[in-house]
Each structure stands twice: as structure tokens, then as C-alpha cells.
Amino acid sequence: MSAYLQCINKNCQEKFPINNKIYHCPKCDGLLDVNYDFPKLEAQELKNRFRERRSSFIPIDQSGVWRFRELIPFLNDERNIVTLFEGNTPVYDAPKSASYAGLKKLLLKHQGLNPTGSFKDNGMATGIAQAKSLGAKAVACASTGNTSASMAAYAARAGMLAAVFIPSGQIAYGKLSQSLDYGAKTLQIDGDFDLAMQLVLELSQESELYLLNSINPFRLEGQKTIAIELLEQCAWQVPDRIVVPGGNLGNSSAIGKALAECYQLGLIDRMPKMHIIQAEGANPLAQMWSKGERDKLLMVEKASTLATAIKIGNPVSWQKALRALDWCKGGGCHQVSEQEIADAKAIIGSDGIGSEPASAVTLAGIRNLVSSGIIDKEERVVAILTGNLLKDPDYTVNYHLDSLYQKSQTKIEIISQQDKILANFANRPVQVAAEKNTIKQVLGL
């Protein structure tokens, strides 16, 4: 089976060998895909093979990424695979979230139950495999948290040096702790994510560092399996809509590519609509979509949101994300406020499902889309939750203590607070005497 890199620019479409260490098209600077000359594959046979591997004890079969390896066939040597048994994430029915959104039913696919707590593990499984294939000894990324945590874990398993570039003071401790614990060299950059991304990209082109941000197309091949696994969990019955958070836009790009390839191979009989949701303070694609702009990113100079995983003003995969929306006709990109994100996160929690703030943009966006009549209450909708609740526990605690602010400065204690976010669904701890009858009264027993 032939695999190759290909420029996504319609006026270029140049192809390159997969063993080239490139992240942009050398001819036109366009983004790259990993594409395949798929042989004729019988759809039902593939589905049976995927299902049978679920009972296998072979490590690559137990991976929720490599279990679908016929759809990501770029490796010549399976010994380069490093797996933490990523993927295999559940799809939950969420009745309280559905009611809040105005839907009859809502499903949540929770990528936060990956080994390091986010969807990035799907991508790192394939990214690290390609790094090993190329003989890389060191890998690098710019990150607001999840990418660095995942890369550090997989690099540790692969015996590679991991270099993490983080914006100083703009990463949740829950995520930073992972990079530190997994042994990554963590560099705090005096600047935002976009500056860190620029630096790591330049360094990866000038040195032996192998870049593992989502501009790397091999990363996105692993993230394709999120959609493939979701389709299998839906018995290959395509949902009406899939709703995804939008940050650097690699995940929505990968999901769109997976859906297009599954349709091409006859695994599904139609394409769903896709919606990408961004925070209003980090909304470059949402601005483009609302203004009908297609050719130039409306970059946000100083991205601002408490949902740190999507606090990105210059997303590298915006062209691929627009392409995904074109493939999944009838969707779009939308924005939600910090208040809407915070309340949606609390509602998801009330279903017994914890998520990081960036995940909650999906529910907030769905609620707005139902309210505006774009989504009908009878439609089958799946929201992708990208990260675990424990990635940013301070956000959750501050919300429920009614002390969450869009802008705050802290030293040992809070010295400045602005734009208070209302804790409309707060679940505050109750101070109670250590006396059984009083406790029973509080609990209504």
C-alpha cells in the first residue's frame, strides 16, 4: 500500500516521500496530508477485523489507534509503534446535558479518558511512531498543556528527549505537572502560544528536533481514529452532527479527513455535518466563517480565554479545518462566551462526566445552535470532549466556590479581579458541624 505526503493547496498538490522530514510543502509552503493509494478493501471485512481485534491480547490490537491500522498504513515496520493503549474511549449518554441543550438525546465521546487525559494521545501514538521511523532522538512541541503532557509520556516510552515550549504563566498546573513528571525539558517562553509555536517550528527546521505539533500530518493520522472509533461505537450509523472544540484546529481537521476516507471506502453511506466551536476571545476561524472569508486567517493578536487548551489566536490547521467543514456540508464554526463555557462545563459535570473547560464549548455551542433553530431537537448529535476534568481543577473549584473571573492577578492572594463569571450552577461545599443529625438534615435524610 502506497503512502505519501501531499500538499493540500489545490494549485500545487505536490507529492513527497513519507520519509521526508518536512512540515510544509517545500514548493508552495502549504500544509501537508498523509495520503494513501488504498487497495480495494471490502467494508464489512474491515469492520469485522476491527471488531475481532477488541478481544486480542496483542498490544497493537489493544490500541484504539493501531486497531484501525488499515486506515493509517504509513508504517513499514510495526516495531516502531509505541502504545499506551490509547483510544478506546467511551461514548456516554448525557441526559442532563441534552436537556440543557434542548435536545432529546446527546452523546459525549470522552477523549479525556485517554492515558494522559486528552485526545492528543491518539495523535502522539502515530507521531512518535513516525519519529522512530525517521531515527529521531529528540521531539518537540509548543503547548498550552495537553500536547506537552502527551508528547512527554510517549517520548519517555520511546526513550527520546522531549522538549516542551510553553507560554510562561499560561498553562494549567494539572498539565504542567505531567510534562515535568514524564521527564520533559520544559521551557517557559516569555510570550504566548503563537510565539512558542513559531520558535519551535523554526528550531525543528534548523536542528534535529522532530516537531510533534498538529502541523505534523502524522499526528493527525492518529487523531483520525477518534472518528473511526466513534463510527464503530455507533454501529456505523452516521450521527447527524459531530461537534468539536476549536483551538489549533488539528482535531477537527483529522476528524473531517477520517469521515471523508470512511465514506470513500464505503464504511459509511453519508457524511455528517460538523460544527467547530471556539471561545469568543480566541475565535479566528469563527470570525472567518461569520464574515465569509476563505483565503486569509483573521488572526487574533492576543487570544484570551480561561479554556487554556484552545487559547490560540493563530491556528496552524485553519485551512484543513475549513476543508473539513466543506466535506461535512451544513455545519460551521461558531463562538461562545466565557460564561457559556463555564455553565456548560458544570452541566456536563452534573451528568457525572468531568471535562476540562475547552471541552465544554461543545455543549455551549450546541445549546446556541438548537436555540437558533440550526440544530433540530430530534437530531442525533455527538459532542467530542477533548480533555479530562483533572487537567484544570482550579477552574472547576473556583467556579463552584463562586470565585471564577475572566481576568485576575494573583500572588499569594488575589490582588485584582475583573469580569466575574456567574456560578449559575455552582455546587459549593457546605460548612457543617461534625454532628450526625445536622448532617442528616443537610442531606435531607
d(CA 426, CA 397): 9
Distance, in Å, from the CA atom of 369 to the CA atom of 387, rounded to the nearest integer, reads: 23
Nearest to 88 by CA among 235, 238, 233: 233
- Residue 427 reports pLDDT greater than 90: no
**What is the arithmetic mean of pLDDT over 303-318?**
93
What is the pLDDT, as a whole number, of residue 432? 44
Side chain identity at residue 46, one-letter code: L
What's the rounded mean pLDDT across residues 84-108? 98
Contacts of 324 (CB under 8 A, 6+ apart): 252, 253, 255, 256, 257, 259, 274
What is the per-residue pLDDT across 71-87, written as a single tens digit (0 to 9) for each?
Answer: 999 999 999 999 999 99
Strands 185-189, 210-211: parallel, antiparallel or unpaired by DSSP?
unpaired
Mean pLDDT across 84-93: 98
Determine the Cα–Cα distance for residues 219 and 150; give it in Å rounded to an integer.
12
Q: Kindly state the average pLDDT of the residues 409-414.
A: 56
Among residues of the chain, what percentage have pLDDT more than 70?
Answer: 93
Instruction: Evaluate whether 238 touches 270 at the Cβ level (below 8 Å).
Output: yes
pLDDT tens digits for range 178-223: 888 898 888 877 778 788 888 888 888 888 889 999 999 999 999 9
- The half-sphere exposure of 119 on its side-chain side, counting CA atoms within 13 A, is 35
Over range 276-301, report the average pLDDT. 94
Domains and CATH numbers, the chain: 91-117+220-394 (3.40.50.1100)
Q: What's the number of CA atoms in the CB half-sphere (13 Å) around residue 103?
A: 28
The pLDDT, as a whole number, for residue 355 is 97
Q: Grade residue 421 by pLDDT with cuts at 50, 70 and 90.
A: confident
Q: Tell me the per-residue pLDDT of 325-366, one tens digit each, with 9 for 90 and over.
A: 999 999 999 999 999 999 999 999 999 999 999 999 999 999
Answer whether residue 5 shows pLDDT above 80.
yes
Integer Cα distance of 35 and 421 in angstroms = 45
Instruction: List Cβ neighbours of 243 (8 Å cut-off, separation of 6 or more).
Output: 274, 275, 276, 277, 362, 365, 366, 381, 382, 383, 384
Q: Is the pLDDT of residue 170 over 70?
A: no
Range 325-337 burial, b when 16+ CB lie within 10 A, else e: bebbeebbbbbbb
pLDDT score of 40 more than 50 = yes
Mean pLDDT across the chain: 92
Strands (E), 96-208: 106-110, 138-142, 161-167, 185-189
Q: How confident is the model at residue 430 (pLDDT cuts 50, 70, 90)?
A: low
Q: Which H helix or E strand runs over 15? A: strand 15-16
Looking at residue 143, its pLDDT comes to 83
All three cell numbers of 279, joined, read 471561545
Cα–Cα dist 25/5, whole Å: 9
Per-residue confidence (pLDDT) for residue 412, from 0 to 100: 47
Whether 60 has a pLDDT exceeding 90, the answer reads: yes
What are the tens digits of pLDDT across the range 372-392?
999 999 999 999 999 999 988
- How many CA atoms lie less than 13 Å away from 187 in the CB half-sphere? 16
Q: Does pTM top 0.85 for this prediction?
A: yes
The SS3 assignment for 103 reads: coil
